[in-house]
């Protein structure tokens, strides 16, 4: 498989803050990748590095096999929908859309028009008068209609209500199915975006915690729930990622696969077993990394 993005020992440090730290990661062509991480994990910084908007402190970046820094060939194939994008005073959505149309050679105006209608975006209202959700809609329309070979969506749905977010996911999936390309989407609404994603990359503290195809994640983690005493007995035999105790009941998220012996023990202890959701897995993986860091 062709790697559209490859980083090697990539770091971006702001004095003591290691926003991205020794990160070696790659993303395949023509897939939708989820970039997940808690607040301050380094998602935006990584996207800014990959789009040549920031200089790395050290390490190497290849996008379409080249450095993205001041590289018009790479820039022309890339669309970056930034969280909190600002626009010049006096701009209206129609100005942004028409500039974007001129910048992206695969731009699909019909799709843009459909999306404007779907989000009921007022095209002739000053941008500074738009609601947060309407501002997000501009980015989403540009990101989808650009049809860029590589599109970054950094938390693209801020302020969008649940219906509008669902419309975004459906529109993105439909357009991607018709025109496959590489999409990197950072998100906090993990279970909501999960159905879109083909791979999941989790970063924390600027470092890579996990990268998997979504198919592989089906057996990556399981949740077991039961009485506290039963869960205590069970946890000796498995790798616990996260535990929650409420009253006399406990739930543990454990790393899969589950051995036959562990499955038998869980059944003997009358524990309820379920597949951990991507959100559960994310919380478990980031929390256990955080605890390990605090101990170190
Ligand atoms: N210009 C800067 N100067 C100093 N520190 C910075 C700068 N930009 C980012 N950081 C720090 O780098 C870390 C990573 O920030 P980044 O914005 O990449 O995280 P994020 O994963 O996108 O977070 P969020 O989900 O909250 O948007 C944070 O601790 C942030 O405070």
Instruction: Enter the ipTM.
Output: 0.98
Give SS3 for 3. Answer: strand
Residue 37 alpha carbon, nearest atom of ligand 1: 21
Distance 15 CA to ligand 1 centre (A): 13
- The set of residues, in sequence order, having a beta carbon less than 8 Å from that of 38 and lying 6+ positions away, is 204, 286
Distance CA 78, CA 50 (A): 10
Q: Which pLDDT score, from 0 to 100, does residue 89 have? A: 85
39 lines ligand 1 (CB under 6 A): yes
Distance 250 CA to ligand 1 centre (A): 35
Residue 124 backbone dihedrals phi, psi, to 5 degrees: -115, 35
20 lines ligand 1 (CB under 6 A): no
Distance CA 190, CA 255 (A): 19
Distance 41 CA to ligand 1 centre (A): 7
| Fold of domain 217-295 | Alpha-Beta Plaits (3.30.70)
- The set of residues, in sequence order, having a beta carbon less than 8 Å from that of 207 and lying 6+ positions away, is 21, 22, 23
Sheet arrangement for strand 3-14: 17-28, 3-14, 58-63
Query: Helix 93-103 vs helix 109-118: angle between axes, to the nearest 10 degrees?
Result: 150
Number of H helices, E strands in the chain: 11, 13
Distance 17 CA to ligand 1 centre (A): 9
Distance 46 CA to ligand 1 centre (A): 10
**Per CATH, domain 3-213 is 3.40.50.300:** yes
Q: Do domains 3-213 and 217-295 have the same CATH topology?
A: no
| Preceding omega of 257 cis (within 30 degrees of 0) | yes
Distance 178 CA to ligand 1 centre (A): 35
Burial class (CB in 10 A: 0-12, 13-18, 19+), 80: buried
For the chain, which residues make up each domain, given as ranges? 3-213, 217-295
37 lines ligand 1 (CB under 6 A): yes
Per-residue pLDDT of the chain (296 residues; tens, 9 = 90+): 799 999 999 999 999 999 999 999 999 999 999 999 999 999 999 999 999 999 999 999 999 999 999 999 999 999 999 988 889 889 999 999 999 999 999 999 999 999 999 999 999 999 999 999 999 999 999 999 999 999 999 999 888 999 999 999 999 999 999 999 999 999 878 888 998 999 999 999 999 999 999 988 878 889 999 999 999 999 988 888 889 999 999 999 998 889 999 999 999 999 999 988 888 888 888 988 888 888 87
Give SS3 for 116. Answer: helix
For the entire predicted model, the pTM comes to: 0.91
Residue-wise over 148-162: b if at least 16 C-beta within 10 A, else e?
bbbbbbbbbbeebee
Cβ count near 122 (within 10 Å): 15
42 lines ligand 1 (CB under 6 A): yes
- The set of residues, in sequence order, having a beta carbon less than 8 Å from that of 133 and lying 6+ positions away, is 158, 159, 160, 161, 164
Which of 12, 39, 44, 57, when mutated, tests ligand 1's pocket best, judged by the most ligand atoms within 8 Å of its CB? 44
């Amino acid at each position: 498989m062709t790697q559209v993005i490859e980083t090697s020992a990539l770091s971006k440090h702001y004095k003591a803050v290691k926003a991205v730290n020794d990160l070696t990661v790659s993303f395949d062509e023509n897939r939708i990748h989820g970039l997940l991480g808690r607040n301050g994990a380094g998602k935006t910084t990584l996207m800014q590095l990959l789009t040549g908007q920031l200089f790395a402190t050290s390490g190497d970046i290849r996008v379409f096999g080249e450095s993205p820094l001041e590289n018009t060939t790479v820039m022309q194939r890339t669309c970056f929908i930034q969280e909190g994008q600002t626009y010049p005073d006096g701009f209206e959505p129609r100005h942004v859309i028409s500039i974007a149309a001129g910048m992206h050679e695969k731009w699909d105006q019909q799709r843009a028009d459909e999306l404007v209608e779907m989000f009921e975006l007022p095209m002739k209202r000053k941008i500074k008068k738009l609601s947060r959700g309407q501002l997000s809609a501009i980015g989403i329309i540009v990101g989808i209609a650009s049809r860029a070979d590589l599109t970054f969506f950094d938390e693209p749905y801020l302020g969008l209500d649940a219906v509008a977010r669902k419309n975004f996911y459906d529109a993105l999936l439909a357009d991607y199915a018709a025109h496959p390309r590489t999409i990197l989407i950072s998100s906090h609404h993990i279970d909501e975006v999960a159905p879109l994603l083909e791979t999941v990359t989790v970063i924390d503290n600027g470092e890579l915690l996990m990268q998997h195809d979504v198919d592989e994640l089906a057996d990556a983690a399981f949740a077991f729930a039961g009485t506290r005493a039963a869960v205590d007995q069970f946890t000796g035999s498995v790798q616990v990622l996260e535990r929650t105790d409420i009253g006399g009941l406990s739930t543990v998220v454990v790393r899969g696969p589950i051995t036959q012996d562990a499955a038998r023990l869980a059944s003997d202890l009358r524990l309820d077993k379920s597949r951990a959701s991507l959100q559960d897995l994310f919380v478990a993986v980031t929390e256990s990394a955080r605890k390990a860091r605090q101990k170190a």
